[in-house]
Amino acid sequence: MKNVVELTVEEFKETLAVATDPGNAPADDKPVASKPSIISAKELLTKVFPKPKYAVEGLLPEGVTVLVGRPKLGKSWLTIGIAVAVASGGKALGTIPVEKGDVLLLALEDGARRLQNRLSGVLNGGTVPARLDVATEWRRIDDGGLDDIEGWLKDHPEARLVVVDTLKRVRPPERPGRIYNDDYDAIAPLADLAKKYAVAIVVVHHTRKQDSEDPVDLVSGSTGLTGAADGVCVLKRMRMQSSAELLSFGRDFEESSLALEWDKETLQWKCVGEAAEFKMSVERRAIIDVIRNNGGKASRKEIAEALGKASSTVGKNLWDMKQDGQVICDEAGNYLEGDSFGNAGNAGNGVTGVTTVNGLSYEQKWDDESLPF
């Protein structure tokens, strides 16, 4: 090869390109791809792994949970309440004890003023938890945002929860024709980060417009979102009720369906029991209301017409209520209120349109004007 000083400019460029091409590097200098970690099934079964940590037991395990619901349903209030509970070591949803830990709340659809108002309302004059950090602006996860979250996690080794509200604010730009890949890639890096630091990350998202019996299908976007997530929570408003249903399911915990009630005094969602039991109590309450409003007795047909339900459905509820002593049936086929209705949740206040669960009374009608969503 010529001496460098004897090379023309073009010859020098060509020589430099060849010298810097990784494919032309000596065998010993080529980068070595990392080999997959393979162990035997027998060895795997002998390993002892720590139990997964929960930010909220049975609801938010370590990993990424996508929380979805229709707009203006109270998802942000739900996450703020949980964040405050975890940071203070209180009770999430008013009933679930949680272990205290550091929390990062990214309220990216709120300005500082709105977040201040919401936090003040939830705290209600109580002590501000020192372990709660908040932000109303954040970089996209592909533009330094993921590194920023990891930096916070490194600085807070006792972190238990990170809330990203909402996904739209931090996800990379979507590309035409790559919906599944883009959805998966929006969640997967957060899931990897959650596993690395054994922390729960909640990502708030929206449901699609079409309804579905399968809660997974309610998540807006492709199955890439739910495929990359470790769990999914769906907040659904109960029809004509000042309450909601929180369905949760994931890889590491059993499916559950909780009935939530909005507490106007504390500005928080509170768990009032299993959704199925709550719904049953509300349906029975409605039947008693019809009987009372009809002069103390009503036929099955009259009850069905008043409630706008099928006679067969009402008949099944009446049969169950009769077995529990909540209604009695006279010779003419009219139903009257029984002596034991209070045992199924009625506080005996006789107020039409109110149901009582776990000793607390709730209005049956959803009053949108009284809600801050």
pLDDT tens string 92-127: 999 999 999 999 999 999 999 999 999 999 998 889
Query: Is the confidence at residue 146, as pLDDT, over 80?
Result: yes
pLDDT at res. 372: 72
Residue type (1 letter), 172: P
The 8 Å CB, 24+ separation contacts for 178-183 are: 179/221, 179/222, 179/224, 180/222, 180/223, 180/224, 181/224, 182/224, 183/221, 183/222, 183/223, 183/224, 183/225, 183/228
Whether 120 contacts 147, CB under 8 Å: no
pLDDT at res. 169: 94
Q: Domain limits of the chain?
A: 1-31, 54-237, 278-370
pLDDT at res. 238: 60
Segment 134-157 shows an average pLDDT of 97
Q: How far apart are the first and last CA of the chain?
A: 75
Asked whether the whole model's pTM tops 0.75, one would answer no
Query: Is the confidence at residue 357, as pLDDT, over 50?
Result: no
Instruction: Find the angle CA(162)-CA(130)-CA(164) to the nearest 5 degrees.
Output: 15
Measure the CA–CA gap between 207 and 69, rounded to whole angstroms.
Answer: 5
Instruction: Please identify, in words, the CATH class of the domain defined by 278-370.
Output: mainly alpha
Query: Is the confidence at residue 75, as pLDDT, over 80?
Result: yes
Whether 87 contacts 114, CB under 8 Å: no
Pick the CATH number of 54-237 from 1.10.238.10, 3.40.1160.10, 3.40.50.1820, 3.40.50.300: 3.40.50.300
Share of the chain above pLDDT 90, in %: 43
Q: 54-237 with 278-370: one CATH topology?
A: no
